[in-house]
Amino acid sequence: MMRSLWTAASGMRAQQSNVDTIAHNLSNVNTIGYKTEQASFKSLLYQNLQSTSTNNAGEDKPVPAQVGLGTRIAAVTSQFSQGNLLASTNPLNVAMDGDGFFQVRNMDGEILYTRDGSFAASPMPNNQGNLLCTGDGYPVLDANGNMIIFPTEELSTNVRIDEWGRMGFEGDDGNTDYLRDANGEPIQFGIVQFNNPAGLEKVGSNNYRMTVASGDPVAERGNANLMTSKVHQFYTEGSNVDVAEEMVNLIVAQRAYEMNSKAIQTTDDMMQQANNLR
């Protein structure tokens, strides 16, 4: 009977982690670029009560007798499905439609990846221009890995960003005058993809870090083997959390937690009955 106590306790621990994951999803329902997470489980070791053998008549038994010892969280996986596009009046807000990620550089010089396109322009010292950055002040990188700097004399309200992520300003003739790099090529976002985005490490503030599981980033620019992501100016990508689905998952997790608690109570009652035998 002690085995059932520990087995049910493992179920309660697993369901508590499941509820924590669901609560995290619901708390980020309005977070720009957030990707819903899903907990998955796997069984623990099995104890052999009787291995495959023969019965008294010498006939082979078809199956052994095994009993499981509970469950645990196997992984918490992010679901990178497309979120809804939310309209914005900020010309520096962009939404990613596709499998790509923006590249940003944190204060330690490390490159991180994000789906949050709610960018801003930060004035640089000595009127050197306006730096395109995230809400945390991390510089956004272009396709060459350089920071994106707008000229000081141009207003951020005149910024134009096309669907390929190329950026510039609206000229007097109504056409876009693109910012250009040292080679004369239009400056555009450095958008990358991963073979396994679920393997990215979450570092907070809507940012991800590359890992061995995710694989190396693959640049979309000039890669014919990748489906190019589209960039939409005046939009942001909303969270892909389905509130109704999360509420159903929450009810199921709560009931599973209650059943495991009931199993512990039942085991306790059985032990009490055994201790009262005379």
State phi, psi for 109 to the nearest 5 degrees.
85, 5
Residues 230/2, Cβ–Cβ less than 8 Å: no
DSSP letter for 199, please: G
Q: Are strands 111-114 and 207-209 parallel, antiparallel or unpaired?
A: antiparallel
For the stretch 186-243, pLDDT in tens is 999 999 999 999 999 999 999 999 999 999 999 999 898 999 999 999 999 999 999 9
Residue 43: the pLDDT is 92
Average pLDDT over residues 148-167: 85
- Can you tell me the distance from the alpha carbon of 118 to that of 133, in angstroms, rounded to the nearest whole number? 9
Arithmetic mean of pLDDT over the chain: 91
Average pLDDT over residues 235-252: 97
Strand order in the sheet with 207-209: 102-105, 111-114, 207-209, 201-204
Residue 1: the pLDDT is 58
Residue 13: the pLDDT is 96
For the stretch 40-63, pLDDT in tens is 999 998 888 777 666 667 677 777
Confidence band of 99 (pLDDT split at 50, 70, 90): very high
CA angle 217, 167, 202 (to 5 degrees): 35
Beta-bridge mates of residue 130 = 123, 150
Residue 155: the pLDDT is 66
**Best CA proximity match to 208, nearest among 82, 13, 61, 35:** 35
pTM beyond 0.95: the answer is no
- Can you tell me the distance from the alpha carbon of 47 to that of 42, in angstroms, rounded to the nearest whole number? 16
Confidence band of 278 (pLDDT split at 50, 70, 90): low
* pLDDT over 90 (residue 182): no
DSSP letter for 180, please: B
Stretch among 8-22, 160-174, 247-261 having the lowest mean pLDDT: 160-174
